[in-house]
Amino acid sequence: MKKYFILLLVLFILSCQQEKKKAEVYKQHPDLSWLTSRDRFDRIRLRNQTDRRSVRLTRFAERLRSMQFQWRVGSMRSVHSWELFGRVISVSQNQKGHIFALDNQYTEVRVFDEKGRFLFAIGEKGEGPGSFMYPEWIAIDQWDTVYVTDRVQRKIEVFAPKGNAYVYERTILLPQIASGGICVDSSSIFISTNNMYNDSLIYRLDKNGNVIGKFGNISYRSENPVVRSYITRNYISCNLENEVIVLIFRYAPIFKVYSREGKLLWQVWIDDLNVSGFTEFKTGGVGFSRDKQEINLV
């Protein structure tokens, strides 16, 4: 009888905890039903072979899976400093086929030839010209000029090719943090920023950093500034030969395609794409699921 009573007591406590947890939860994000009801999307299922665009996406995924390994670089036991990487978060390639790897932790760009042989490094840690505090994104234009964003100092450091190396050319101060990426063509710089719920997410700048256009957003309703901060997090990818910029959202299964001038050309909702959402609490914080435990971020 005593064991039976203890079992009932434990079940009652667990039930109360579950009810308390349910009471604490305010809303799940992204609210997919609200998003889809507000915007008109071309809906795509990645596994739907009857949709022409889905077929192209599936074929592209197959090509990615069939890629052949060519070379690798990096070792924890190497005596060469250029083989010791901290945190590589952005990579680009110039017209010669050289690979530019931006190491955020070591605050430099390491350059390798098409065979993976180390050539030289660009930049250093610091606040002066040609240096970074928190380098985050790299882009290379048609003349092989290198553009590196610095999140902390809200700037772009520009390096020009000279002989077999690169030299510091100039610094471009930014109106917003380029937190979602950078693209560069012959006359413009495109940066993507976060947390601009009431403004545009993509800024088009001239080569001096002056704003010549703004566009791109996500239609999402929330009075909570924390939710707005997370739901607008995004990345951009550019195909400037076709003059299009793609805006991809981190917490919603959508992408939007814009022209260089900012006209919305196409917006797509991918039905079977899993995204990592979050939970809004009545306290105003949001929680993310990690290892089956909710972490409350205020």
Q: pTM here?
A: 0.83
Contact 134, 104 (CB under 8 A): yes
The pLDDT tens digits for 45-72 are 766 555 666 677 677 778 877 888 888 8
The pLDDT tens digits for 126-148 are 999 999 999 999 999 999 999 99
Rounded CA separation 28/251 (Å):
12
Q: Is 285 exposed, middle or buried (0-12, 13-18, 19+ CB in 10 A)?
A: middle
Which 3 state secondary structure label does DSSP give 55?
helix
The pLDDT tens digits for 239-271 are 888 889 999 998 888 899 999 999 999 998 887
Number of C-beta neighbours around residue 165 at 10 A: 12
Is residue 297 predicted with pLDDT exceeding 60? no
Predicted local distance difference test score (pLDDT) of residue 23: 47
- φ and ψ at residue 222, rounded to 5 degrees: -165, 135
